[in-house]
Amino acid sequence: MRPARRAATYMALTAVAALTLAGCAANVSSESPDSPVPEASAPASPSPSPAAGTPQPAVPGDSLVTYTFPDGRLSFQHPKDWRVELFEASASPFVGTATVYDPAGRMRVTVYTGEIADVVAGSGARTVLETDPVLGLRGHAVPTPHSSFFVDRSGGAAQYRMGLTAGLPVSPDGQVQNGLIMLGNRVLTADVLFDGPPFAGDDAAKDWYWGADGKTLKAILMSFTYR
């Protein structure tokens, strides 16, 4: 299974609707990269190192460039041969969605930031496969946002999801968390786009996550900073 074409995630459904309504005032622009930059289960601990034999290196720092939103506060990194397109619904206050494309032109990640959004609660059981705190957002949101990979199960169906979560995907008391990330009076969502059949199981999902593709997408999520 590979992340690919656009697929709306329920964490940002209302945010996308808000952008659509504002489309008449929107601008779409391509990125000019900045300079290169050297069941619910119990919540998972920060990700351990992959086992021996797992594809190793994360994306080297010298192969990354930084994308900064027009407001100058929110940034993330991506491989220099990838690109970002921005859909700007409002300049003041800034509301927009950045879509990250790989070299083949596939949409891999969507990032929404703005002042208007809501969350649609899900139901069912959630199993956390991996989760790590995003240090560049620590101190700007409570709880600290995490880069998370998890699976929601409902009615016999399994939906694998990867993106930023507001803290742990499952709270310490076992409650599934679907809250938006709050950065002051702004909200943030960032979601990897999946397409195609689901993983054969959690082991196959973890194998993908620790492979080159999963590591690249995780590096993007872990690179977010806010100032």
Average pLDDT over residues 186-193: 95
Give 122-139 pLDDT, tens digit per residue. Answer: 557 999 999 999 999 999
**Nearest in space to 43 (alpha carbons), one of 169, 164, 143:** 169
**Which runs of consecutive H residues, i.e. helices, occur in the chain?**
13-21, 202-209, 212-222
For residues 35 and 39, give the distance between their C-alpha atoms in angstroms, rounded to a whole number: 45
For residue 176, the cross-strand partners are 170
- pLDDT mean across residues, the chain: 79
Would you say residue 20 has pLDDT above 50?
no
Please give the pLDDT value at position 32. Answer: 47
Return the top range by mean pLDDT from 18-22, 41-45, 189-193: 189-193
Better-predicted residue by pLDDT, 215 or 44: 215
Please give the pLDDT value at position 212. Answer: 96
Better-predicted residue by pLDDT, 179 or 54: 179
Return the top range by mean pLDDT from 59-73, 100-114, 190-204: 100-114
Please give the pLDDT value at position 117. Answer: 56
Residue in the block written with tokens 């656009």: 6
Rounded (10°) angle between helices 212-222 and 202-209: 70
Would you say residue 93 has pLDDT above 90?
no
Average pLDDT over residues 209-215: 97
Residue 60: pLDDT band with limits 50, 70, 90: low
Give 136-179 pLDDT, tens digit per residue. Answer: 999 999 999 999 999 999 888 899 999 999 999 999 888 898 88
Would you say residue 61 has pLDDT above 70?
no
Least confident of 32-36, 180-184, 223-227: 32-36
Would you say residue 95 has pLDDT above 70?
yes
Residue 1: pLDDT band with limits 50, 70, 90: low
For residues 68 and 77, give the distance between their C-alpha atoms in angstroms, rounded to a whole number: 9
49 DSSP 8-state letter: P
Please give the pLDDT value at position 164. Answer: 98
What's the pTM value of the predicted model, to 2 decimals?
A: 0.76
